[in-house]
Amino acid sequence: MHLQKLASVAKFKSKEALIGIVGLGYVGLPLMLRYNAIGFRVLGIDIDVSKVEKLNSGESYIEHIPGAKIAAARDSGFEATVDFSRVTECDALILCVPTPLNKYREPDMSFVIDTTDAIKPYLRAGQVVSLESTTYPGTTEEELLPRVQEGGLVVGQDIFLVYSPEREDPGNPNFETRTIPKIIGGDTPACLEVGTALYEQAIDQVVSVSSTKAAEMTKLLENIHRAVNIGLVNEMKVVADRMGIDIFEVVDAAATKPFGFTAYYPGPGLGGHCIPIDPFYLTWKAREYGLHTRFIELSGEVNQAMPEYVVSKLVDGLNESGKALKGSKVLILGIAYKKNVDDMRESPSVEIMELLEAKGCVVAYSDPHVPVFPKMREHHFDLSSEVLTSENLASFDAVVLATDHDKFDYELIKSSSRLIVDSRGKYRSMAPHIIKA
Report, as residue numbers or ranges, the catalytic residues. Answer: 274
Is residue 92 within 8 Å of 128, Cβ to Cβ? yes
Q: How far apart are CA 40 and CA 63, in angstroms?
A: 24
Phi first, then psi, for residue 354 (nearest 5°) are -65, -40
Q: 365-389 in b/e burial notation, b at 16+ Cβ within 10 A?
A: bbbbbbeebeeeeeeebebebbebe
Rounded alpha-carbon distances, angstroms, from residue 391 to 314, 320, 418, 422: 21, 23, 11, 20
**189 membership: H or E segment, kind and range:** helix 189-200
Q: Return the CA Rg of the chain.
A: 24
Burial of 262 (0-12, 13-18, 19+ CB in 10 A): exposed
- Buried (b) or exposed (e) across 194-209, using 16+ Cβ within 10 A? bbbbbbebbbeebebb
The answer to whether the beta carbons of residues 159 and 148 sit under 8 Å apart is yes
- Which residues, other chains included, contact 316 with Cβ-Cβ below 8 Å and sequence gap of 6+? 435
Instruction: Report residue 65 CA to chain centroid gap.
Output: 15
197 neighbors 220 (Cβ within 8 angstroms): no
Question: Dihedral sign, CA of 324, 404, 357, 392?
Answer: positive
Note whether 17 and 11 are within 8 A (CB). yes
Is 286 in a helix, a strand, or coil? helix
How far apart CA 94 and CA 118 sit, in angstroms, is: 13
CA distances from 295 to 170, 253, 283 (A): 27, 26, 10
